Copies of this chain bind each other. A is one copy, B any other.
Amino acid sequence: MVSQLESAMDSLIKVFHTYSSKEGDKYKLSKAEMKSLLQGELSDFLAASKDPLVVEKIINDLDQNRDGEVDFHEFVILVAALTVACNDFFVECMKN
């Protein structure tokens, strides 16, 4: 029996590889793959931003080793940061 937490971790890995396997290095997201992932999986977050360059900026911020691609570790940092932000928002709402 897979727990809710294990299922969530499994989803993070599956989502990444669904997009990373489309072209080039199967285990890294190219800029096009990352853009596709952001648009397919986080469209509500993108819609909340008024910045037309938001996708480009996220990719540049994530690509810590400057190889023009996003590996799984870099991807998880984005997800962790977004989830912490969502949790902070949720906790603020609960407290007020």
Contact = CB atoms under 8 A, between A and B. Distances in A.
Interface of A: 3-9, 11-16, 27, 37, 40-44, 72-73, 76-77, 79-80, 82-84, 86-88, 90-91
A72 B82 CA distance: 12
B84 A4 contact: no
Q: What is the total number of copies of this protein in its complex?
A: 2
Contacts of A44: 6
Nearest to A72: B87
30 contacts: A3-B41, A4-B11, A4-B15, A5-B15, A5-B37, A5-B42, A5-B79, A6-B41, A6-B44, A7-B8, A8-B8, A8-B11, A8-B12, A8-B15, A8-B79, A9-B79, A9-B82, A9-B83, A11-B11, A12-B83, A13-B83, A13-B87, A13-B90, A27-B91, A72-B84, A72-B91, A73-B84, A76-B84, A77-B80, A80-B80
